[in-house]
């Protein structure tokens, strides 16, 4: 599948799933989010993690992460959240905007975040230089990296590759997570890598049951060479799906 065909297939699936998500009652999103939180809070890699990154959710249409952020902070974990900024890269050398993960200081700090036009709590750019960052670069200015143990990711759609058993993820189309993970891997030291040479950070996604495409579905998640594989998926019906391979 060439790049233009792949892009068109992804956009078609995004449109189908996003239309489906608009019809999910808020009560269902709330109950599914509670189920994911219960599953995650008993998940050993989460329990043992000292540094986690987690997306801050939109008001509807995806698993709500507010309980996770509050629990992680109250449990003494260092919590990192996405922050979008200008890349500082010369034109043509990379994307104009990058996503990094920056730390929250406390529950009060989290509660002080203002919501953006999508209703997502957002870090004030004026406070970023006071925060720890998981990839040190910020607008071209390097600083010390903070390695992560676990990243909890959003997505639009997910399925299982019938051949490899890998959990496939379709993002929102901006490539922020894929490029962040690429940069994270480049910055990882040997001590931060697993035996296969990849960064030791674990990648798990959270999804409403309506976002998962079963084997019987006529739709499937198209992936390309730059799409990052994930380790597993927590679903709002209480099911946990583990990726049986790290192959893309």
Task: Tell me the binding residues for substrate.
Answer: 56, 62
| Binding region for ATP | 10-14, 169-177
DSSP state of 142: -
Q: Closest Cα to residue 142, out of 97, 84, 100, 202? A: 100
Phi-psi region at 241: left, alpha or beta (left = phi > 0; alpha = psi -120 to 50): beta
* CA atoms of 181 and 177, how far apart (whole Å): 6
| Binding region | 10-14, 56, 62, 169-177
Strands 78-86 and 51-54, how do they pair? parallel
Determine the 3-state secondary structure of 46 from DSSP: helix
């Amino acid at each position: 599948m060439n790049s233009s065909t792949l892009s068109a297939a992804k956009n078609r699936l995004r449109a189908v799933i996003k239309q489906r998500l608009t019809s999910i009652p808020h009560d269902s999103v709330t109950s599914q989010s509670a189920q994911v939180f219960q599953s995650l809070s008993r998940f050993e890699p989460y329990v043992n993690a000292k540094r986690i990154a987690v997306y801050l959710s939109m008001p509807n249409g995806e698993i709500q992460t507010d309980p996770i952020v509050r629990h992680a902070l109250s449990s003494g974990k260092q919590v990192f959240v996405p922050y979008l900024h200008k890349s500082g890269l010369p034109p043509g050398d990379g994307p104009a905007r990058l996503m990094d993960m920056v730390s929250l200081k406390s529950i009060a700090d989290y509660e002080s975040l203002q919501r953006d036009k999508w209703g997502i709590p957002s870090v004030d750019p004026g406070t970023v230089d006071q925060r720890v960052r998981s990839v040190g670069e910020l607008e071209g200015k390097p600083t010390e990296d903070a390695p992560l143990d676990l990243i909890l990711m959003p997505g639009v759609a997910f399925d299982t590759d019938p051949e490899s058993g890998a959990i496939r993820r379709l993002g929102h189309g901006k490539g922020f997570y894929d490029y962040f993970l690429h940069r994270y891997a480049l910055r990882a030291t040997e001590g931060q890598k697993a035996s296969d040479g990849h960064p030791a950070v674990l990648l798990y996604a959270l999804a409403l049951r309506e976002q998962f495409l079963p084997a019987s579905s006529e739709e499937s998640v198209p992936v390309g060479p730059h799409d990052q594989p994930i380790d597993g998926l927590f679903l709002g019906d209480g099911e946990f799906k583990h990726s049986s391979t790290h192959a893309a």
